[in-house]
Structures are given as structure tokens and as C-alpha cells.
Chains A and B, each alone.
Chain A
Amino acid sequence: MIPVDRFRAVVGDASCIHAPEQLHVYESDGLASYRVTPGIVLLPATTEEVAACVKIAREAGMPIVARGSGTGLSGGALPVQGCALIGLSRMRKVLQIDLENAFMRVQPGVINLDVSKALAPHGWYYAPDPSSQSVCSIGGNVAENSGGAHCLKYGFTVNHVLGVRMVLSDGSVVDVGGPVADQPGYDLTGIIVGSEGLLGIVTEVVLRILRKPEATRTFFATFPSTTEAGNAVSAIIASGIVPAAIEMMDRLAIEAAKAATGVDWPDVGAALLMDVDGIAAECEFTSSNAVELSRQAGALEVRVPRDAAERELMWKGRKSAFAAVGRIARNYMVQDGVIPRGAIARVLAEIADLSAKHGLRVANVFHAGDGNLHPLILFDGRVEGEEKKAEELGGEILRICLRHGGSITGEHGVGADKAIFMPEMFTQQDLETMQRVRCAFDPAQALNPGKVFPSPRLCGDKPGVYRPHPAELSGEAHRT
């Protein structure tokens, strides 16, 4: 039985959602192909309310899943059967801005872009910029260690989070890290960021914020194919330039972006969109060098935006690329894998072969500077078996990434979607070690069970022969 009245007493009637038709809203996140109806949805407004909800859920033996804006693409916020889904979207206050000490304190429901908007009048900003930044939340960014186009130069969420306040799985509240550097003790902030909701529920985040750079220079270059574009990227990086962002799109992705945003791009085999930022004189130098290197690599055309509005539009074309694919295909699946930058051309050729073999089109959009691929697999869900074929193709792409020494996810997370691939990237011993970390935070594994790790194992289990765990014998935990 779900203790609805107890939850309602904590969060109030309007924030305690249990009517079946309302629960449907929360049954998936950005990975809409998976759906599970939660037991109850709670929308607490304070750390204390989150803690109280966690305690009640634990007493009732309910698993707990935290959710930010629900834009994640790996099913990290996918409910589990009968869970208490704790949505943090009502916790959206900016608590403190301290420019002198370069930090900001926010609640987890604050939207990523709103952080930079709050700072803009002062000439400051927050660096991580996932493509979903106009809707995704800081809490979700912390859970997934979100990246974005500009993390090539500035790093990921983990490089910009100084500390968190977190509710643990027993309902206790702990402060970790903070605005002062190097608090003695283990770097818990470093392990919490990117832990995909398995270690605790973050209810406050201290962010590192940056003064805006003096200048940004953007250019857009087209190429006959991804080979020339890839060579341009290699040449630019080899010249010692650290671009703020360098993004590549292939023919199909360009076609989609044009259809969706009306950007006036030619039909070509590949395009690069690149930002350099920093000292104005340096930007002039590096951007003109990068343009020259692109030309030498075979660029067909180079465009430089005339003004900020045109630059915005170029970036909008890139950032809306995922959704844009919806204009040219009935359904699509976003993949996220990483390869060493030098392997881009070979990997794209392998993906093209797979695409032909499976008879499914694949559009490629990626962060070329750090080798983070986002192949978009196009399919028609009405055709029997095509979705399954798309899934298989996605899996094969991840295996290509691993064969080239890469990763099964660069920024979308493992979540529910990729847990089965973890044993292909990590040994059993690697996973056991990560599991030990999890058990230190959440011995009952009540938080986001079934995510990240492929096979359920209770804390204290030894690999190999099955022995029931004490918590299992006492009924405190169940093997699912």
C-alpha cells in the first residue's frame, strides 16, 4: 500500500500525484520508448520535504526515483515499478549569486539556461550547455554530468559543480564540498556528479560561474564529405587551437536542421560549426587560422555570421538537430558514443556500412572536438520489426565505439538504456568496485534501482555463489 496520506501531509495535495491518468505524464523521460507508471509522484518544495518523502517511501518499502525536467535520453528518470517518483521541478530558486567569489547557489529544478540568464546582466555565465539547456534542469545535469558543445574547452558539469546538499537514501541530509576549494576529505562531489541518481537526491547545488569572454568568433564551413571535415578538425586541433566548440553534421543532419529551423545551409556532405572565444585579438587570430586550415582541408564554403542574431541561428540549427530529424523521419533514436578523435573517419565509414546493412538511414551530429558521436537512427515505427532493427543498429554502433577504445556514453548517461552494455566496457571487477561505492551511499539500493548496473546485486553480496543477504532475509530489500 502506498501511504498517500502521509505523502500528502508533507508536500500538499496539489504536489502529491496519484490519480492514474495523471501518473501517465511521468511514465517516461526523454527516452520515450520506455514506459513505466510510477506508484506515486511527489513534487516537494524544500530539502526537508524531499527528506520526509524519502523516509516515508523507505518505510513503505518503495523504491525511489528522482526526476528533474525529464529530458534525459538514457532513461535515467524512468520510473521503476511501484516507485515514489520525486520530481524536483518545484525547487527552482536561485539562492545566492556571489560574483566576487565566482559561485552561485541554486536549487536543482532551476533550468540550465536560466542560470546564465540570471548572470547575463552582470556579464557572467555558466559554461555547461547541453543542447536541451532551455528545458533541462541543473539537478538533472548533476545526475548525468551533462556536457554540451562548449565542454571541449570548458569541461563538463563535474568541472563546474563545487558542492551539493544531498538527501541520502535514509532521509538524512548532508552537505558535500562547497564554494571554498579543497574541503578536507574524499572528493564526494566528484563521485556524486554523474552518479545518475543512485547515490542520493541533490537539493542544492553550488556552481562555479565564469566571467564572459571578451569575444566569440563563429564560423560555419561546408565540405564535400565528413572525411574532409574530419581532416579539418584534426588540422585545427593539431595547430594548437583549443576551440570553445567544434561541431560536425553530415548530409542527413544538415537536411533535417534546414527543414526544422529554416537555416539557409547548402546541401553538402558535411558541415562544421566552430566557436573560438577568449581574448579578442587571440580570437581573430585563431578563427582566421581555423578558416584557412578548413580551406586547405577542402572546405567548399566558409560563412561567418554578420551579427549575434545570425550566430544564434547557426547554433539553433545545430542545437535543434535531434528534434529536427523528426521532420525527415517518422521515428528516430538518438545514440551517444565516444571515440578517439583520430578515429572519426573510420568510425563514420563503419556506421555507414551498418546503416546500409540494416537498411536504416543514420544522421550524424557530433561534438567533433572530443569525439562524441550522436548518430540519429531513422526508422518507421509502423513497420513491423523496424524499431527492433534500429535498436540493434544502435547497439552495434556502441560496440564500434568500444572497439576503437571509446565509451558507450559521452554525456547522455547509462540510465536504463545502456546498463546492458556496461559489461562490454567494464570488467566484472570494475563494476563490483563501483557497486561498493554505491553501497557506501545507499546500502539498501533504494535509489534508482535497475539503472547503470546490469545485474542486481545486494550490498554485501560476494560475486559467484548466491547467498541471501541479511537485508533480504529481514524483508528490508528484495531481489528483482
Chain B
Amino acid sequence: MMPVSPQEAAEMLRQAPGPLVIVGGGTQLRPGFAANAELVTTLKLNRMVEYAPSDQVVCAEAGMTLATLQAELSRNGQRLAIDPPQPEKATLGGIIAANSFGPLRTRYGSVRDLIIGISVVLSDGTPAKGGGKVVKTVAGFDLPKLMCGSYGTLALITTATFRVHPVQERSITLLARKADPVELVKRVRALQLEPAAMLSVDRDVHFRFEGFAAGVAAQREKLRELEEAPWPAPLDAPVRLKVAALPAQLPQVEKALAPLQARLEWLPMVGIGFAHTQAEAASIAAARRELLALGGSLVVEKAPFALAPLDVFGPPPPSLPLQKALKDRLDPRGVLAPGRFTGGT
């Protein structure tokens, strides 16, 4: 199914007899993919709805790709301050549904911190919106945040409204080779530096400083022993695991992942990252057990279907009954990607 308008999407959902999986750019399909479901693609819901550069607010349909949106914003010297992988393919709705992110999360948070409004269609065809078109509103429940990371199990996202930021005048990347990211975070804080992004790739730690030239130069000067370098290309491997733990637990995270011979992209100031590997299900499960013991988590974001018995999310959080209650209330027929989410939600 490929609706061309929110109204048509509502009608399609209302009439759909069986399980549906909502697809944007298809970059995050793996987590909990339901094989026998019908696909609803949002790629034709791709219009710009409203853009007010002076208000730094943009509203677009969910099927628009991030790259298309950024191109439009850049004409006004603005951007949506997120940088998840594959912007040419990833759609706004998909990015919200998977709460996907990139290194800019260091400064700007993830999409959940930049979304200000949303329109959705529930599986019974009810159109609903939450938030608004202004950067600040607390009227009603925060439906935009609830949709972030919900993997299309609660509703179909039709449009989203974001706060956008000015593109910075100057940007540089500094590289600390084979460094200790935990120590570097301490150093950043001691020196009161404000990196827009900080990314460790197998302990090669990259800083991106952005801003007006004076501020960038001052920060560069404080780390004068570091070399300037290009920003690293994203890693790719058959299996991508999202791993999270407290930032200071990085050594234990590395230890847990060691048997996977994974390459690790890690956001040292946030405590989250991606392990890229070719490992088998059993060793992934073992790594997850160690991360859970730390209070962390491991989610399988990409894997060959040969690894099908793999548990994507791991054990559900203690709030599982609430999660299930939310699912039951918003999708009482259980049509939207049933069983896809953590704990079989």
C-alpha cells in the first residue's frame, strides 16, 4: 500500500484486515520485522507542509527523506540538527519511529529532542495530532515523544514538525588517535569545551567543533596537540548492534563486545553507539547478557535473516505492562506490526 495523502492512509488503515508493517526508507526494517505482514510505504507522503525560516520551524510529511528536507533547509542557512545514517534513504517518519541518530546527538540530542509536533493515523483510521507548530507548547500529552522509537507499532506518522537550527559558520574535526574516550570526556568538561559531536571509532576519537569562527578557533587552540582530520565514514558490516551503557562503562562495554570482534562507533558523552560485526546469534546473546548486567542494553538494528531466531530487543523493561496497555489502547486490533516490539508488544 502506498497512500498519497494522510486521508488515504487513514482509509487504508481502517480497512486493513491483517497485520501491517509501516515502511519509510527501509533502513531500519530489521528490528522485529513481521514476515507475513502487508507493507504500507510512506514514500508518497513526501510533501513539505510548512516552512517558516524566521520561526525556525518546519513541518513535512513523514515520507520525505532527511536529505530532501536538509536540502530545502540549507537554502535558508538552516538544518535539522540530526545526522542518522543513510540520509538519502531514511525518511523523517522512519527516523522518528526508530529514534535513529548520529554523532550530532552529542550536542543536540536525538530527534525526540527536536520534534515539536506530529500528526498520526491510528489503526482504526482516527487522525490525531499532538504538540504544535511553535517551539514551545505544553498543551496536552506529548504524543510526538511517544512516537519516537515506537517502531510503527502505535500509529502511522503522517507529518512531523521540527525545530531547526542555523547552519554554523565554521566547523572543524579534530582527531585523537588511540585515545581513552572516558578520559577525553573529562578533559572536555574540565576545559569547558562544547563539541557538537564527539565520536569514538575503535578509540580513534573525533571531535567536531562548530560555531562562529572565534569560538571554534578558541576550542581548537585548547586541544592544539590534536590533528585536524576528515570526519570518519560510517562503518558497515552484516550485523549492526545498538549498544548503550553509562558513558564511564565504556571499558566494560568493550570487554562485553570483544568476542564479537566488533568495530565500535561510540558517542562518549552520551553512552551509546553501534557495534558492527559478523558474529553469530549465540555470541550476540552472550554480549547482551554482559551489557544487561551493567544496566545497559543491546538492540539488533541490522542482521541477515539467517540470524532470524535472534531476540532483537532483549528482555523487556520493567514498565512492560504499561507498554502493552499503551499498545492495546492505541492499536486495539493489534494490526500495526504485532509482536514487533520489545516483550512481544
| Interface of A toward B, CB cutoff 8 Å | 98-102, 144-145, 147, 151, 155-156, 158-159, 168, 174-176, 178-188, 190-191, 193-195, 211-214, 234, 237-238, 240, 242, 278-286, 338-342, 367, 370-372, 405-414, 418, 422, 425-427, 429-434, 436-441, 452
Contacts and interface: CB of A to CB of B under 8 A. Distances in A.
Nearest to B31: A184
A242 B182 CA distance: 29
Interface string B111-126: 0110000001010001
Contact of B55 (A194, A281, A342, A437): A342
22 contacts: A100-B182, A101-B246, A147-B138, A151-B136, A168-B322, A180-B245, A180-B271, A184-B299, A190-B142, A213-B192, A238-B54, A240-B77, A278-B215, A285-B212, A339-B134, A367-B136, A406-B137, A407-B132, A430-B128, A437-B330, A439-B329, A440-B325
Given A340-B55, A432-B128, A440-B328, A186 B214 contact: no
B306 interface: no
Interface in B249-270: 269-270
Contacts of A438: 141
A282 B143 contact: no
A186 B326 contact: yes
Interface stretch (B37-45, B66-74, B275-283, B312-320): B312-320
Contact of B218 (A240, A281, A371): A281
A180 B294 CA distance: 10
B134 A185 contact: no
Nearest to B291: A180
A410 B143 CA distance: 16
B140 A422 contact: yes
Interface string B226-254: 00000000000000001011111000000
A407 B137 contact: yes
B28 interface: no
Most buried by A among B165, B211, B248, B322: B322
Contacts of A433: 120, 122, 126, 128, 130, 143, 330
Given A191-B141, A213-B194, A440 B313 contact: no
A340 B148 contact: no
Contact of B246 (A180, A212, A414): A180
B19 interface: no
A159 B320 CA distance: 23
Contact of B214 (A213, A284, A338): A284
Contacts, number: 262
B326 A372 contact: no
B189 interface: yes
A187 B154 CA distance: 12
Nearest to A343: B55
Given A370-B135, A407-B134, A158 B145 contact: yes
Contacts of B168: 240
Contacts of B154: 186
Contacts of B56: 237, 341
A183 B213 CA distance: 37
Given A180-B245, A425-B132, 19 more contacts: A155-B113, A180-B244, A181-B272, A183-B244, A185-B343, A190-B145, A190-B146, A194-B141, A211-B192, A213-B194, A240-B212, A278-B211, A338-B136, A370-B135, A406-B134, A407-B137, A433-B122, A434-B130, A440-B329
Most buried by B among A101, A280, A367: A101
Given A182-B242, A184-B316, A436-B329, A145 B139 contact: no
B323 interface: yes
A403 to B, nearest CB: 13
Given A180-B295, A237-B54, A433-B143, A282 B136 contact: no
A342 B54 contact: yes
B201 to A, nearest CB: 18
Nearest to A214: B192
Interface string B88-108: 000000000001000000000
Nearest to A371: B134
A242 B255 CA distance: 40
Contacts of B162: none
A357 to B, nearest CB: 26
Most buried by A among B169, B215, B325: B215
A181 B141 contact: no
Contacts of A407: 132, 134, 136-139
A211 B318 contact: no
A282 B325 CA distance: 49
B54 A187 contact: no
Given A342-B55, A430-B130, A185 B342 contact: yes
B87 interface: no
A245 B247 CA distance: 29
A338 B134 contact: yes
B208 interface: no
B84 interface: no
A426 B55 CA distance: 22
A159 B134 contact: no
B49 interface: no
B129 interface: yes
Contacts of A441: 322, 325
B10 to A, nearest CB: 10
A176 B326 CA distance: 14
B179 interface: no
Contacts of B149: 182, 186-187
A176 B167 CA distance: 35
B217 interface: yes
Contacts of A371: 55, 134-136
Contact of B319 (A99, A185, A278, A452): A185
A358 to B, nearest CB: 24
Contacts of A238: 54
